Chains A and B, each alone.
Chain A
């Protein structure tokens, strides 16, 4: 029974007793148990990644009105395994003139930067990696290592298409990092802490509500910026097959390409997880405090829904041109995010001691007013542009 309420502690105590029984010192057994936990956790995340390959292929098939893989195993569930085996058995080609060390390091850093993100995500009330008090900035830091891996890949491939794709992709990622960090500041302002555990718990303790009700515009800005950070459609210039032939992926084949691809899918799911943690209550659900495993289940469901929304956008909207993309970021999303941050901070501070319903209503209303003002501004601008166009006289028949 105690296992259900606190599984990690039970396993930890049992392993500690086993290892101390072998005569090892306390700190050695603690280190070994933690190492084992990390390896098991990362392997579980990698298995999740493999399942995500299947999910992605089935969902894209359904959006495109076809069936997707359905031969290998029931509903094609075992499809990713032959894919992985094929990728492992491919030849390891490093093109001539390519710089060996960065060329091999780039896919490793790309997948590693996504794995690092899982260390701070709270999966449940008692199951989490580390309760880092600067977890939100740590997310941004791990993302910047991913950016670095892309510029390494593009440069070391000794291929002008790879380099051009890498430049565009890195410009895309760094530009959209600003609205993303500002959208991350909004839960920080509301909770007063950067720790993901504190942010999750603030959404249901002491009469808290999910932050998507307090700041829906913040959630939307984070979603848009996250899709751009992932490099997925509609912001997927680096995969413009008809333009620059797969961008910085060109010279990669076999398992290295597999690591890039798997890293991208896992990154998308991780961002679904972040949207769940930051705005939708994380692992919160009925009876989730008493039974941590139920909390993990709720978290995975919410992350899957977030991932599904990201996939939905990807397979519905066409690709955006790079100048439109950068103009959208610097001339619309960044000012909007800054104004939202100012409005949120002011409203939050003024309504700090108000009862919960007043606080939620006030913040929600401020968001709605901001959205309405933005839409009016855009409409006025469009009207001005329409009126400045030359009028074409109607042709009389």
Chain B
């Protein structure tokens, strides 16, 4: 068991436990806090895969902006933050069956894939430099870069619409 595997298993355990707590806890703000733990686990996984930029961007955007917006929204819309209804509905055995079946199918299929169990490939060059040149070079992703700005503009227009309706 290499150190990398230990870190991976610990992080995966953190993510799974936090994700479970997000959907089962009764207090909405606690759910937002468990979501933050899950997102942080995602950032740690990015770091182990040598995607340094994505790891810090995950913390900056997801935890620093989206999670805070979740908490604002929760406090804006809810007067009492506890979910009073029952946590499960009547059809939960069937849902559990479908979920376990899907998981088994996915595990089987990913075991069949040709690269299962492969080692992490050695990186060629600096990943950060590769990312930055790929994002702006004309035969790579520059169109996606510019279209992303249009998408953010659309988000701003939508935000104005929502804000004016209040």
Contact = CB atoms under 8 A, between A and B. Distances in A.
* Chains A and B are bound partners: yes
B97 to A, nearest CB: 35
A132 interface: yes
A7 B55 CA distance: 32
A151 B72 CA distance: 9
Interface residues of B, number: 22
Contacts of B33: 102, 152
A288 to B, nearest CB: 28
B53 A137 contact: yes
A152 B60 CA distance: 17
A137 B57 CA distance: 7
Contacts of B128: 133-134, 194
B44 interface: no
Interface string A150-186: 0110010000000100010010001001000000000
Contacts of A163: 75
A144 interface: yes
Secondary structure at chain A's binding surface: helix, strand, loop or mixed?
Answer: helix
Interface stretch (B63-71, B84-92, B104-112, B157-165): B63-71
Contacts of A141: 56, 59-60, 63-64
Given A102-B33, A138-B56, A155-B29, A174 B126 contact: no
Contacts of B27: 99
Nearest to B63: A144
B52 interface: yes
B36 interface: yes
A137 B53 CA distance: 8
B68 to A, nearest CB: 6
Nearest to B132: A192
A273 B108 CA distance: 53
A177 B67 CA distance: 16
Contacts of B36: 148
B98 to A, nearest CB: 34
Nearest to B57: A137
Contacts of A133: 52, 126, 128
B61 to A, nearest CB: 9
Contact of B67 (A99, A134, A143, A148): A148
A116 to B, nearest CB: 11
Interface range, A side: 20 to 34
B60 A155 contact: no
Contacts of A174: 64-65, 68
A145 interface: yes
A79 interface: no
Contact of B52 (A99, A132, A152, A167): A132
A147 interface: yes
B60 A137 contact: yes
A143 B68 CA distance: 13
A140 interface: yes
A341 B30 CA distance: 39
Nearest to B58: A141
B37 to A, nearest CB: 11
Interface string A113-139: 000000000000000000011100110
A195 to B, nearest CB: 9
B68 A148 contact: yes
Nearest to A27: B3
Contacts of A145: 59, 63-64
Nearest to B36: A148
Given A141-B64, A148-B64, A134 B71 contact: no
Interface in A320-371: none
A174 B71 CA distance: 14
A133 to B, nearest CB: 5
Nearest to A163: B75
Contacts of A102: 29, 33
Nearest to A193: B128
8 contacts: A99-B30, A102-B29, A141-B56, A141-B63, A141-B64, A147-B64, A151-B71, A167-B72
Interface of A: 99, 102, 132-134, 137-138, 140-141, 143-145, 147-148, 151-152, 155, 163, 167, 170, 174, 177, 194
| 10 closest residue pairs by CB, A with B | A144-B64, A141-B59, A137-B56, A134-B52, A141-B60, A141-B56, A134-B56, A140-B60, A138-B56, A134-B53
Given A102-B33, A141-B64, A174-B65, 15 more contacts: A99-B27, A99-B29, A134-B128, A137-B57, A140-B56, A144-B59, A144-B63, A144-B65, A144-B68, A145-B59, A145-B64, A148-B63, A155-B29, A155-B71, A167-B72
